[in-house]
Structure 1
Amino acid sequence: MTESNRTIAFIGAGNMSASIIAGLVKSGYAADKIIAANPSTGKLDVLKEKYAINTTQDNNQAVAQADVVVLAVKPQMMADMLNALTVDKASLNKKLFISIAAGIPVARFQQLISQEAAIVRTMPNTPSLLGLGLTGLYAAANVSDADKQFTDTLMSAVGKTVWVESEDGINNITALAGSAPAYFFLFMEGLVKQAEKLGFSADEAKLIVEQVANGSAQMVQQNSDKTITELRQQVTSKGGTTAAAIASFESNNLDSVIQQAVEACINRAEEMAKQM
């Protein structure tokens, strides 16, 4: 079996599944090798019409036909969904399972599927919906190099990937990428509020902050020979206006605030994993 002709079943047809499917088809993956399963038909009909993939309301049918199973249901629904599968364990042991559900450890998946099941946990962030995501990945010890490469290719359909060596590393990725878009949005919210206080309209304030954020990200991408610190220093003239603003951030211990936020996110991820 070559990598390009594996049959992939997506269990759950939400936004993330739709984005990965779109990326796969766009990259040339055969649509007839993709199955989406979902309890209701609305999302399935849209996916079938847009991408000419196969669809079903029967999870067992999708899993039975698949070489690779992408688990994309909500974490709180995962156990019930997997317990309802009637596909025999011997068959499941031959498949690659890829989870995009937050908080569920490999050991729990192997309890629900099979102790021998090959599991890769992934943590894509919301910019993946635009093909601009960052996905963290962790593979159980029994996952082959070929399966790791396949998973990397799959998640690269919606952005870039970073592998972690230990399962705890998924919680770190959650704090640094999975949850991090909200951190940037929070900072952008603050700037919008200040712009409005200074007399700009809501539309003008949003435009200013949006363009600055987009331009800043592009400068980082297009200056790969420079560190982010170097780029910041280029904007910060000694004794100038930007230096005054940076000094204010530093006097209020911005680094410490960021560290505390990241640690709080990791701690909560660890708590959630124990509840699954």
Structure 2
Amino acid sequence: MGGALLEYWKKGDENFTIVDPFLEDAPEGVRLVAQQGDLGDKRFDVIIVAIKPQMIDDILPDYAPILNDGGYVISMAAGASIARISKVMGDAPVIRIMPNLPAFVGKATNGLVAGPGVRDDQRKHAHAMMERTGTVVEVADEDQLDRVTAVAGSGPGYVFELARAYVAAAEGIGFSHEQARALVLGTLEGTIAMAIDQDDKSLEDLRNSVTSKGGTTAAGLDALNGDGAVSRKFEQTLEAAYKRAVELR
């Protein structure tokens, strides 16, 4: 995920350095070193944490001395709290982010929460960086970021599963897999684009605009969610994902 974000981050004015003992190549214009000791006396305005949470206590303390005075930390380490990151980074201000999979195509939906001591210019800088990768939703606290995880962080999985079921159903009424995939993905892409373009209209209004009384769409919608089963299933889905995010803190 860090590599996907970097492809869009580096379109800004910042200079990036990656520290990774296993990475063989870095994107064009990005410096790559194998370990912290290879950085020499270089110091940084921002340190981005893109490691597994279980590695934080062993690795991050070595990076606290190379953060410039007045610098801050951006963390995308899932489940690692702002307090934990700040402590190992010498009480540096920390911003946590929660990107999602469409970052790979520059269409991420990112959650962002600023911890204690983060200046407004730092928050704006992090927001601008994340905006290069897609949409940014700032939230008030880390509990809200866990809810972002449930909705957007895990969201692509839900959408892929819905699309898979939709394609399978289209095959079931006689289309080849290629035809069904083209019909379903094209419909999803166009419908989402329309919802974004016509954001002055509610989703209910947009749904109703294509639903004629007694027509095919009305019949399909009644079968899909006439008893509210889909709505309840989404509520259960988000609640389960949020509960798990809390457990992983």
Q: TM-score, normalised by structure 2?
A: 0.91
- Kindly tell me: are residues 61 and 147 of structure 1, through their superposed partners in 2, closer, same or farther at Cα, counting changes over 3 Å? farther
CA–CA distance in structure 1, aligned partners of residues 135 and 187 of structure 2: 23
CA–CA distance in structure 2, aligned partners of residues 229 and 157 of structure 1: 30
Partner of 2:214: 239
Provide Cα deviations, 1:28-87, integer angstroms capped at 9, x if missing partner: 425xx2111111242xx242xxx222111123555952110111112333333224x165
Say whether 1:25 aligns with 2:10: yes
More helix by share: 1
For the 8 Å contact 1:93–1:118, the answer to whether it is kept is no
For the 8 Å contact 2:107–2:134, the answer to whether it is kept is yes
Partner of 1:6: none
Say whether 1:257 aligns with 2:242: no
Say whether 1:72 aligns with 2:50: yes
- Kindly tell me: are residues 244 and 55 of structure 1, through their superposed partners in 2, closer, same or farther at Cα, counting changes over 3 Å? same
CA–CA distance in structure 1, aligned partners of residues 174 and 6 of structure 2: 44
Any gaps of 5 or more consecutive residues in structure 2?
Answer: none
- Kindly tell me: are residues 59 and 232 of structure 1, through their superposed partners in 2, closer, same or farther at Cα, counting changes over 3 Å? farther
Aligned AA for 2:6? I
- For the residue of structure 1 that corresponds to 2:248, the secondary structure is helix
For the 8 Å contact 1:60–1:87, the answer to whether it is kept is no
CA–CA distance in structure 2, aligned partners of residues 61 and 220 of structure 1: 49
Partner of 1:211: 186
For the 8 Å contact 1:75–1:102, the answer to whether it is kept is yes
**Aligned pairs (5 A) from 1:64-213:** 64-83=42-61, 85=62, 87-88=64-65, 91=67, 94-114=70-90, 116-213=91-188
Provide Cα deviations, 1:204-239, integer angstroms capped at 9, x if missing partner: 121111111111111112212211111111111112
Provide Cα deviations, 1:97-136, integer angstroms capped at 9, x if missing partner: 101121111122123222x211000000111111111110
CA–CA distance in structure 2, aligned partners of residues 222 and 38 of structure 1: 41
CA–CA distance in structure 2, aligned partners of residues 145 and 46 of structure 1: 31
CA–CA distance in structure 1, aligned partners of residues 5 and 173 of structure 2: 42
Aligned AA for 1:54? R
- For the residue of structure 1 that corresponds to 2:112, the secondary structure is strand
- Give the C-alpha shift of residue 92 in structure 1: 6.6
Provide Cα deviations, 1:175-212, integer angstroms capped at 9, x if missing partner: 11111111111111111111222222221121111111
CA–CA distance in structure 2, aligned partners of residues 55 and 209 of structure 1: 41
Say whether 1:224 aligns with 2:199: yes
Say whether 1:57 aligns with 2:41: no
- For the residue of structure 2 that corresponds to 1:162, the secondary structure is strand
- For the residue of structure 1 that corresponds to 2:111, the secondary structure is strand
Aligned AA for 1:55? L
Aligned AA for 1:72? A
RMSD across aligned positions (CA):
2.0
- Give the C-alpha shift of residue 252 in structure 1: 4.6
- For the residue of structure 2 that corresponds to 1:103, the secondary structure is coil
CA–CA distance in structure 2, aligned partners of residues 159 and 60 of structure 1: 34
